[in-house]
Structure 1
Amino acid sequence: LAPHGMVGVGAIFEAYQRGELMDDAEVALLHADAEHGFRALSVPLVNVRHVARLAQEAGVLSAAESRALVDAAAALFYQDRTWPRVLQAVGEAWPASTQGRWRTWAAGGLADLKREDARACLQAAAAFVASGARPPSREGVSRPPPSSYVRRRRLVEGLCETEAGLVSSEDVLEELRAGPGAQELARAGLRRALLAGWARSLGLSPTPEEVARAESEQWARLGVAPPERAAWLAACGLDAHEFRRLCEERALEGLMLEHAARLLPDGPSWDEALASEARLEGRWAEMAARLTAPRRRPRKR
Structure 2
Amino acid sequence: MTDVVFIGPSLPAGEVVRLLPDALVLPPVAHGDLLRLDVGPGDRVLIVDGFFLQHPPVRHREILDLLDRGVTVAGAASMGALRAAELWPFGMRGVGEVFQLYRDGVVTGDDEVAVVHGPAEEGHRTLSEPLVNVRVALRRAVAAGVLDDAEATLLLEIGRDLPFRQRSYRALERTAPPGATDAVHRFLAWHRRDPWDAKSADARLLLTMAAAGAPELRPRYAGDQPIDNLHTRFLDSWRARFAGTPAGGHWVSDRDLAAVLMLLHPEAPAWHRRGVLAGLAEVDLADPAVEDRAVEAAHRRGLTGPPPDGWDWLTAAERGLDDREAVLRVLVRAFGTTPYRSLALWMVAAPLRTPALRDAARQVAATAAALNETLVPRTTGHRRPGGRLHFRTEVVDACFARLWGCAADGLEAAAWDRGFVDLAAFRYAAEPLVAYVKAVGALRLPAVAGDRMRENTPAGAPARVG
TM-score (norm 2): 0.37
Partner of 1:271: 300
RMSD: 4.3
Q: What corresponds to 1:41 in structure 2?
A: 127
Residues 160 and 118 of structure 1: CA distance in aligned 2, closer, same or farther (over 3 Å): same
What does residue 115 of structure 1 align with? 200
Q: Counterpart of 1:273 in 2: which secondary structure?
A: coil
1:135 aligns with 2:219: yes
In structure 1, C-alpha distance between the alignment counterparts of 2:211 and 2:180, rounded to whole Å = 44
C-alpha distance after superposition, 1:213-233 (max 9, x if no partner): xxxx99x769xxxxxxxxxxx
Q: Where do residues 122-271 of structure 1 align in structure 2 (5 Å cutoff)?
A: 122-128=207-213, 135-136=219-220, 141-145=226-230, 151-159=236-244, 167-176=252-261, 178-179=263-264, 180-181=268-269, 271=300
Residue type of the partner of 1:145?
L
Letter in 1 for 2:176: V
SS in 1 for 2:126: coil
- 136, 153, 176: which one aligns with 1:67: 153
1:65–1:93 CA contact under 8 A, matched in 2: no
Q: Distance in 1 between matches of 2:185 and 2:108?
A: 33
| Deviation, structure 1 residue 65 | 1.5
* CA–CA separation in structure 1 for the residues paired with 2:209 and 2:133: 21
In structure 2, give the amino acid aligned to 1:33: P
Letter in 1 for 2:155: L
Contact 2:133 2:199 in 1 (8 A): yes
Cα displacement string for residues 86-105 of structure 1 (whole angstroms, at most 9, x for unaligned residues): 22122323243x34422431
Q: Which amino acid aligns with 2:172?
A: V
Alignment counterpart, residue 118 of structure 2, candidates 32, 52, 72: 32
Structure with greater proportional helix content: 1
Q: What does residue 248 of structure 1 align with?
A: none
Structure 2: tracts of 5 or more residues without a match: 1-86, 287-296, 315-320, 326-466
Distance change in 2, residues 1:169/1:14 (3 Å): same
1:53 to 132, 139, 161: 139
Give the aligned residue type for 2:302: A
**Aligned partners of 2:128 and 2:167 also within 8 Å:** yes
Report the residue type matching 2:114 in the other structure.
Answer: A
C-alpha displacement of 1:19: 1.9
Residue in 2 that maps onto 1:17: 103
SS at match of 1:8: strand
Give the Å deviation of 1:106.
Answer: 1.9
1:27, distance to aligned residue in structure 2 (A): 0.9
For the residues of structure 2 that align with 1:134 and 1:56, how far apart are their CA atoms? Answer: 35
Counterpart code for 1:60: V
Aligned equivalent of 1:91: 177
Distance 1:75 1:275, change over 3 A: same
Amino acid at match of 1:171: D
- 1:53-77 Cα offsets, whole Å, 9 max, x none, are 1112222122222112111111111
Q: Report the CA distance shift for 1:174/1:105 in structure 2 as closer, same or farther (over 3 A).
A: same
Do the aligned partners of 2:91 and 2:225 also contact (CA within 8 Å) in 1?
Answer: no
Unaligned runs of 5+ residues in structure 1 are 193-216, 223-257, 259-268, 287-301
Query: Which secondary structure does the structure 2 equivalent of 1:19 belong to?
Result: coil
How much has 1:155 moved relative to structure 2? Answer: 2.6
The aligned residue for residue 415 of structure 2 is none
What is the TM-score normalised by the length of structure 1? Answer: 0.55
Residue number in structure 2 paired with 1:232: none
Structure 1 residues 115 and 134: CA distance shift in structure 2, 3 A = closer
One-letter amino acid of the counterpart of residue 107, structure 1: R
Task: Name the CA distance, whole Å, in 2 between partners of 1:148 and 1:87.
Answer: 50
Cα pair distance change 1:10/1:103, threshold 3 Å: closer
Corresponding residue for residue 201 of structure 1: none
**CA distance, structure 2, for counterparts of residue 76 and residue 154 of structure 1:** 38
Give distance in 2, aligned partners of 1:285 and 1:66: 78
Separation in structure 1 between the aligned mates of residue 131 and residue 189 of structure 2, nearest angstrom: 22
